[in-house]
Amino acid sequence: MHKQTVQYLIGGIFSLIIAMGIGRFSYTVILPYMQETVEFSRSTAGYLATSNYLGYLIGAIVAGRLTLENKRIPFLQIGLIISILTTAFMGFTDNVVLWYILRFISGVVSAFIFVVIASLVLDQLASSSKMHLSGFFYSGVGVGIALSAIIVSPIQAIYHWNGTWIALALFCILLFGIIVLFIKPIRPSEQQRIHEPTTSKRTPPKKWMKWLMMSYSLEGLGYIVTGTFIVSIARESTSFNGDAAFVWFVVGIAAIPSCFVWSKLAQQYGYVKTLFVSMIVQAVGIILPAFATNTITLYASAFIFGATFMGITTVSTTLARHITPINSHKILGYLTAGYAFGQMIGPSIAGKLANITNSYHYALISAAVVVAIGAFCLIGGLKYETHETVTSPVSK
C-alpha cells in the first residue's frame, strides 16, 4: 500500500479520536462525575448535550457550504486545535453558561472536522483504489469511545472530573502532532488519477440522493436516543447487575471493527442493500430494552448499537461519495447536516416522552420505528444494484 495512503488512514483515525471519540462522546462518561460534584439537574445535562448537537448541525452546514478546495488541511488543523482547547477548558471552569458555549463550539468543530477529514481520507483512498479500507478510518470513533470509557474512571479517581478533561486534552495534543506529520498536501507529481473502486453493483443516480439524505436524517433522529440514554437506562434499572459505564465500553468495542465489516459487506453485496440491513438490525437493538432492562438485554442493545451506528455512517458517506465524487466535502456536509438535525431534536423529544410516561419504553419504541422508516426509504435504491440495470449512473 502507498505510504501516503497509510499515513492518511492513521491521521484520519487520530482526527476522529480527537474530535468525535473524546471531544464529543467523552462527555457521556464524565457527566455523572460532573453532576455529583457541581450538582446540576438532568435537564441541564440534556441542554448541554443539545448545545453540542446544535453546534454539530451548524458545523456540518458550514462545511457543506464552504469552498475549501486546497485549504482542507489547514482548516482541519485549525479545527483540531479548537477541539482540543474546548476539551481542556471544560476542566478549568464550573460555570454552566461557559459549559454551554464550550460544548456548542466543540459541536461545531467536531462536525467540521468529520466532514473535512472524511473527504480527505476518502479522496486519498479513491486515488489509490483502496476505498474498501474506509472502514478502518471510521473505526476511530469507536476507538475514542472505548478509550474514554476505560481511562476516564481511573483518571477521575486521581484528578477529579475537571482534571479528567485536561488529561484528555493533553492526550489529544500527542495525537495532533502525529496528524500534522501524516496529513500533508499531496504534490501534483504524486497525485494519482482518481479511480472509483471496481464493483459489480451499480451506483444510484444523483437524483436518488434525496432518499439517502432522508434515510440518514431519520437515522440521526433514532440512533441518538440510545446514544444519549443507554447508560442512564442501565444506571436506573434495578434488574441490571453490571457496571453502567461498562455499557458504554461495549458500545465502543463493538464500533471499532463494525466499520470495516459493514464496508466489506457493502463492497460484496451493494451499499444500499447493506445500509438497509444494518438499519433494520439497529432498530432491533434499540427496541430491546423497551421489553426488558436486565443485564443481557442492555449489553445486547449496547453491542448491536455499537456494531451498527458507525457502520451506517461508513456506508452512507461512502455511498454518497460514489454518487457525487466531485467536491465530496459538500455532499458529505449536507448529508451530515441532516443527520445532525435529527440527533439534535431526538434527545429532547425522547426525554419529554420519557418524563410523560415515566419510562424510556415508548421513547425506545419510537426511536426504533424511526430508524426502520429510514431503512425503508432506501428501498427504491435497491434496483440500481442489480446487473439488469442498464442506465449508467455517471450520465445522470
pLDDT in tens, 291-302: 988 999 999 999
pLDDT at 347 over 50: yes
Residue 193 has pLDDT above 70, yes or no: no
Helix then strand then coil, % of the chain, to nearest 5: 80, 0, 20
As given in the structure block, the three cell numbers for residue 278 are 444494518
With a cut of 70, say whether residue 59 has pLDDT above it. yes
Q: Is the pLDDT of residue 123 over 50?
A: yes
**CA 366 → CA 229, 263, 281, distances in Å?**
14, 28, 15
Contact 258, 282 (CB under 8 A): no
**Between residues 356 and 92, which one has the greater pLDDT?**
92
The helix/strand/coil state of 303 is helix
Cα separation of 124 and 147, whole Å?
Answer: 27
User: Which pTM value belongs to this model?
Assistant: 0.81
Segment 224-242 mean pLDDT = 85
Under the banding of pLDDT at 50, 70 and 90, the label for residue 328 is low
Q: Where are the domains of the chain?
A: 3-184+202-385
Contact call for residues 195 and 264 (beta carbons, < 8 A): no
CB atoms within 10 A of CB 356: 10
pLDDT at residue number 201: 53
Position 54 confidence tier, pLDDT thresholds 50, 70, 90: very high
- What is the Cβ-side half-sphere exposure of residue 219, based on CA atoms within 13 angstroms? 34
pLDDT reported for residue 35: 78
* CATH architecture group of domain 3-184+202-385: Up-down Bundle (1.20)
Q: Strands, E, within 141-247: which ranges? A: none
**How is residue 357 written as a grid cell?**
410516561
Q: How do residues 72-90 score in pLDDT, each as one tens digit? A: 899 999 999 999 999 999 9
Q: What is the DSSP string of 9-58?
A: HHHHHHHHIIIIIITTTHHHHHHHHHHHHH---HHHHHHHHHHHHHHHHH
